[in-house]
Chains A and B, each alone.
Chain A
């Protein structure tokens, strides 16, 4: 029933998911967690919102062009955690939030995230059609519209966290022009360099997925993060074992991944 060439991939998925599951059920039961290490970019989120509040200027958030049905969807889901947090903070400080959306399917989700965050902060009336805007599903038309918003509404903080594509540089520099403080983050390898260069703070790769745990201090998320750490340590172990066995002239370990890990 199981595809023979995929046995190892399947096993990896089960093992990793199992470890993560074990870790967060343990955390939920109240097992004490060691502290999470500092991630400066995440602390900068509050700073940026604070700055915008002081200046009486809006905050801009975008999850990038990514969609919900492809392999990058994980980053979009992670991005909603940030959106939720940022929406709550802005509701608390009565700062205007502008969320711009490029993917049509992301739009209703983002609306829901922001609306619920406002309700949770007891400010549902702050939710207007201006809060979450679908600009265009055409990547470059979206960029043009965002650049227009930057020039006309002058946000003082710009958050670009999610699955970013070729629109990265245009939007990041567009925000730099108006002097907005920027926090970026993506796990998309090709766009990371631009965010690193252009933003004041940038979440690198997996840090995007750690945001929820860091900001929410929720035991499930912290536990999940601990499980992810175990998975990464296993990866390191596999590399070391693979290298050592190869040095000893035994390539079986290396080859079996190619055969069964499709």
Chain B
């Protein structure tokens, strides 16, 4: 499996996927199925390793009996292949969503609310003043029920403009990294034809 073969393999799959830009075609469809299939196979590998290393191995070698719980819960998911016992899968879903909900709830106050509020309090010059007005505008834009009056609506209008600027900046700054990734893929094609080193 030489490096040369690797370069050709990478070049060919790149061209096949890029052919989508011309229009849906047989080559793209084939590459798409190869990609999705390989990724699924890789996912099975990763899932297997997670179950083995975090669940099965500690269970049988170290006797961590508690690990039977997630293994059983994981198996519960397969009740989805039946019609009668579908509800069993909810136990596994409950644990997962419980983790996500808890992690979300606990992280929001400090990371997303207090630290941002603190940053909004710094006022040293006119720019800071404008920034604070902008932040207030955006927050007031998101009022849905309470305080629907002309003041909050006026602020909300400013808030929307500020958000448009934020989106414009987001779009503009990310083009740099997108072009960088694009050149990476273009390089794979050019390299196959020996046009770049």
Q: Chain A interface (Cβ within 8 Å of chain B)?
A: 6, 8-10, 12-13, 16-17, 33-37, 39, 67-74, 76-77, 104-105, 108-109, 111-112, 115, 135-138, 140-141, 144-145, 147-148, 151-152, 189-190, 192-194, 196-197, 204-207, 210, 213, 222, 225-226, 228-230, 232-233, 235-236, 238-240, 242-243, 246-247, 253-254, 257-258, 261-262
Contacts and interface: CB of A to CB of B under 8 A. Distances in A.
B2 interface: no
A190 B142 contact: no
Nearest to A124: B83
B100 A136 contact: no
Given A144-B32, A254-B121, A261-B115, A229 B143 contact: yes
Given A204-B163, A210-B144, A233-B146, A109 B100 contact: no
A96 to B, nearest CB: 20
Interface stretch (B4-12, B37-45, B55-63, B188-196): B37-45
Nearest to B40: A136
B170 A193 contact: yes
Contacts of B105: 13, 17
A254 B77 CA distance: 48
B120 interface: yes
A138 B84 CA distance: 31
B35 A144 contact: yes
A109 B93 contact: yes
B122 A239 contact: no
A232 B101 contact: no
6 contacts: A16-B109, A71-B111, A141-B38, A148-B32, A229-B143, A243-B121
Contact of B145 (A105, A138, A225): A225
A17 B105 CA distance: 9
B122 A69 contact: no
**Chain B contact residues: helix, strand, loop or mixed:** helix
Q: Which of B20, B32, B109, B174 has the most CB of A within 10 A?
A: B109
Nearest to B106: A13
B182 to A, nearest CB: 12
A152 B32 CA distance: 13
A12 B114 contact: yes
Nearest to A12: B109
Contacts of B121: 239, 242-243, 246, 253-254
A152 B24 contact: yes
Nearest to A66: B100
Contacts of B36: 135-136, 141, 144-145
B158 interface: no
B interface residue count range (under 10 / 10 to 19 / 20 to 34 / 35 or more): 35 or more
A68 B100 contact: yes
B80 interface: yes
B143 A232 contact: yes
B15 interface: no
Interface of B: 17, 20, 24, 28-29, 31-32, 35-36, 38-40, 42-43, 47, 77, 80, 86, 89-90, 92-93, 96-97, 99-101, 103-111, 113-115, 117-118, 120-123, 132, 135-136, 139-140, 142-148, 163, 166-168, 170-171, 174
Contact of A77 (B32, B101, B147): B101
Given A108-B93, A204-B163, 5 more contacts: A33-B145, A37-B144, A104-B47, A213-B144, A243-B132
Nearest to B170: A193
B101 A73 contact: yes
- Considering the complex of A and B, which 8 residue pairs feature the smallest CB-CB distances, nearest first? A73-B100, A242-B121, A138-B39, A151-B24, A193-B170, A261-B114, A141-B39, A229-B146
A13 B117 contact: no
Contacts of A9: 109-110, 114
B71 to A, nearest CB: 16
Contacts of B80: 108, 111
A239 B136 contact: yes
B104 A73 contact: yes
Contacts of B170: 189-190, 192-193
Contacts of B171: 193-194, 197
Nearest to A214: B144
